[in-house]
Amino acid sequence: MTKKMTKKHKFYFLFIGIFVSISLLFNGCKNKTSSMEVKSASEFEVLLNVLENNGDYVNSDKFPSNIDASLVYQNIDKNFLIIDIRDEDAYNNGHIKGAFNIKPDSLMSFFENVIEPNSFDSIVMVCDIGVRSAFVTSILRLLGYNNVFSMKFGMCAWHSNYADALWLKSVSSKPENELEVADNPLPQKLSYPQINTGESVPYKILRARADTILADTIKKYFVSIDDVSKNYLKYFIVKYGFENNSNLGQLKGAYQFLPKKSLNSKTDLFKLPTDKPILVYCYTGTKSSFVVAYLRILGYDAYSLKYGANGFMYNVMLKNFPDNVFTKQNVYNFPLEFSQSVPTLNQQSNPVALKVKGGC
């Protein structure tokens, strides 16, 4: 398993960035006269080139980086680090044994100053329903932390206390009569976003984007089907993770984007708008959360539909995609911990000196 982005990785990013910049500059010059001004690559172009040529995570076999709650439980006393990103009150009302309670805006400091990420076999991000943990896992993966995973379905998979109040309460078939069955042709190539971090080195651009996003209130990046159904035209709707099944129904105006194929500069990435919010939905809201994090890193105004298609066509999902629905069978009822002895980042008197390491 690949480990944390070391100085060697950052040097690699720097080298690739210089190479990309020189390549873009050369390609722009070679067919022009010496008297013509050459336009330098934008931050977006530099960042996208590096991400696509350094694993292309969103289109790779490592995407999405989920882990089942049962595997977390089996390794709870082994070399796994569990990070619970929920609010402190939710954490205190029940959490996984040994889990650290770290808010998203403190994750980067925690990874860089408090722990040795590459010393753990796996670092597991946990939230309530599994979408915010997917979002932050996607960002951490883009930053090179390749041993980070999101616990699928969050605490709802861990215990029925959460499943009954959240996932099982939110599945619905109410808007099924509003669905359409016709495929919508994708628009022609559009413009790409403009990002302005003030940085020129690819890793620094990526890091600045990650800092900005994680420092924000990431809960606002997730919307409910009730909000969407009030005004479908508000969003450019991306149906992600479904193949050849529009006859079963899709949200009004949705465009088909095939998983691990569409979100690339050589395919359909540039067909996404920059002047309109983008809503991504999948089966459960998990893959879409990973996708939205990637799109936000690139500067798109993207949002994920909470609970995915489970939230508006649950009966259809049960019949046609039984492996992609949330039911009581997904709930393990593993033990909950209520002690507050696990340190949080804000409780460390000298976090730089702590450097928690994994290993048995």
Query: Scanning the structure block, which residue is given the tokens 């599994």?
Result: 130
Give dist(CA 134, CA 153) in Å, integer. Answer: 9
Give CA–CA dist 231/131, Å, rounded: 23
Residue 156 annotated as catalytic: no
Residue 189 to residue 116: CA distance in whole angstroms: 43
**Phi/psi of residue 100, each to 5°?**
-80, 140
252 neighbors 334 (Cβ within 8 angstroms): no
Sheet of strand 278-281: strand arrangement: 222-223, 302-305, 278-281, 236-240, 255-257
Phi/psi of residue 303, each to 5°? -140, 155
Residue 256: its H or E element: strand 255-257
Query: Do 256 and 246 form a contact (C-beta atoms < 8 A)?
Result: yes
Write the DSSP assignment of 290-330 as a string of letters: HHHHHHHHTT--EEEETTGGGGT-HHHHHHH-GGGS--GGG
Catalytic residue among 127, 156, 282, 360: 127
How many Å apart are CA 122 and CA 101, to the nearest integer?
17
Spatial separation of the C-alpha atoms in residues 152 and 309, rounded to whole Å? 16
Handedness of CA 212, 68, 359, 337 (dihedral sign): positive
Looking at the chain, list the stretches that DSSP marks H as alpha helix, in order from N- to C-terminal side.
Answer: 7-29, 43-53, 69-74, 88-92, 107-109, 132-142, 154-158, 160-165, 167-170, 202-215, 225-229, 286-297, 314-320, 351-354
Among candidates 198, 189, 212, 200, which has minimal Cα distance to 266? 189
Give the catalytic positions in this structure.
Answer: 127
